[in-house]
Amino acid sequence: MDDSLKKIKEVIAKKYPPFEFTVFHDTPITLLKKPLNECKLVLLTTGGLHLKTDTPFDTKFLEGDCSYRLLPGDVRHENLMVTHESYDHKFINQDLNCVFPIDRMREYVREGKIKSLSEEHYSFMGHIYVTGPLVENSRTVGKRLNTLGVDIAFLTPTGVICNQSVGLIARGLEESGISTVCATFRREIIELVKPPRVLSLEFPPGKPLGNPGDIRMQKQIIEAGFDLLSKNISDMKIVDLPFKLKKFGLF
């Protein structure tokens, strides 16, 4: 096992029950069947976002709350709150788009880069150690998105273990016929679960798309994801992007 994975397990064991990383050896792939400008896109995050009027995620459940929350297509930052204990919320409090790039995607629709956004986006709380229910819920969400005519999904993690969760969710969506790309910051974790398309960044937890307010970086990362979605792949493809932000420890 990679030394960094061993260290992560040691840190987690101080607070949570023993666990093993989930490992897959295959990669489910749904190739994009149309040009990007004809596609409908959904955003998914494991950042624990939910409407202020909705039920919070259960952060006291040690195995991890595998449920999900619907975020309406017209959602605004002021409508949301975060229930997730495994990353610093100061970044998302400053700029929703460094975790959930809804404003950037709305701009791409206006520019004609993508056709439309889903009427529903989804949020999970990705600090999860018993992952079976998460995989099943990702398939349920995938089936729902299919009925909405969604073609592509852009996924972001926030905490360290979220990198495993976001890869598992991507697998469930791919099995449901939706093409996915994950913007992640712990390569050694997400490559264990083998989702098809991964953008790898050297970022600390809590800002998978870079520093709050850095619109240029947000767009560069998203557009790298668009480029990866357009490629004809037959196995997991990881693209290491040349963006680095200072990291502080494991978490």
Instruction: Report d(CA 185, CA 249) in Å as an integer.
Output: 13
In degrees, to the nearest 5, what angle opens at C-alpha 236 toward C-alphas 151 and 203? 90
Give the residue carrying structure tokens 């800002």. 207
pLDDT of res. 212: 96
pLDDT of res. 167: 98
pLDDT of res. 108: 98
pTM beyond 0.85: yes
β partners of residue 40 = 116
- Dump pLDDT digits (tens) for 58-75: 998 888 999 999 999 999
pLDDT of res. 247: 59
Give the residue carrying structure tokens 């976002």. 49
Q: What is the chain's Cα-based Rg? A: 16
Ranges of the chain whose pLDDT falls below 50: 248-251
Q: Kindly report the number of other CB atoms within 10 A of residue 8's CB atom.
A: 19
pLDDT of res. 1: 66
pLDDT of res. 14: 82
Instruction: Report d(CA 169, CA 234) in Å as an integer.
Output: 19
Domain spans of the chain, in order of start: 38-241
pLDDT of res. 251: 45
The angle that helices 132-147 and 162-175 make with each other, rounded to 10 degrees, is 50
